[in-house]
Amino acid sequence: MDERNPPAGSDRGWADHRHRDVSGGWLRPTVFGAVDGLVTNASLIAGVGGVGVSAHTIVLTGLAGLVAGAFSMGTGEYISVTNQNELVQAEVAVEKRMHEQFPDAERAELAERFESYGADRQTAQRMSEAVSSDADKALQFHAREELGVDPDDLPSPLLAGSASLVAFSLGAVLPLLPYLLGVAWLWLAMLIAGVALLVGGMVVGRLTGRSLLRAGVRQLLLGALAVVVTFGVGQLIGISVA
């Protein structure tokens, strides 16, 4: 029998299935970085471009926003993941000391956990003894159950920071493209940003299994709100300065 195509009504289920990446190691900083870069620079360009400044000023503003934002996002993500990992490691160290000092209590706690999953008392105790016989596996199991993480599979701070920096840069350069190519049309920059937001939202919807159109339109509307508000602020400041 082909396990990839089980017969109808079979309770074996799909034997060879895959899950989406939910660890957040690279997906979260990449998505947030790209969207942040796109919305940030589109808003900056709308704010200064709507006042009627020169194309040179818009390019300088956009490039400054790109560089500053990319490094801010990259270092922020790196520090955030590093701190999170250090906190997890500290808690795992506490759990390790508890295993060394109170092994019986930890085994009893593990047995109670198995009972809460539906195992009878004797089965739960045997399972607890089996897991506890290997100190490393017992520690890993307790960390997963009590902390919700795998201490051997923590996200990489360097990967998260790099993904955020690169994604922000790519997102931020899109609304700046017309000006970099010598086409100083604000509406074209906003059109590119709008299309990118819509497509980006649909990609996220594809990754998360949500409605593509709903995810794309939601991201487009939120980005448009930021652009409109920044454009309005630019208009108010420009009028008051004039």
Could you read off the pLDDT of 33-64 as tens digits, one per residue? 888 899 999 999 998 988 888 899 999 999 99
Contact between 36 and 12 under an 8 Å Cβ cutoff? The reply is no
**pTM, rounded to two decimals:** 0.74
SS3 call for 182: coil
Answer yes or no: is pLDDT of 3 > 60.
no
Domain boundaries of the chain, sorted by first residue: 27-241
Percent of the chain at pLDDT > 90 equals 32
The mean pLDDT of 162-183, rounded to a whole number, is 93
Rg of the chain over CA atoms, in angstroms? 26
Which residues lie closer than 8 Å to 116 by C-beta, 6 or more apart? none
Q: For residue 196, which of 165, 219, 167, 163 has the smallest C-alpha distance?
A: 219
How high is the mean pLDDT of the chain? 81
Nearest to 153 by CA among 93, 240, 88, 83: 88
143 or 76, greater pLDDT: 76
Cβ–Cβ < 8 Å for 10, 194 = no
What are 138-142's contacts with CB under 8 Å, separation 24+?
138/99, 138/106, 138/110, 139/92, 139/95, 139/96, 139/99, 141/110, 142/95, 142/99, 142/106, 142/110
pLDDT in tens, 70-117: 999 999 989 998 998 888 888 888 877 877 788 788 778 778 877 777
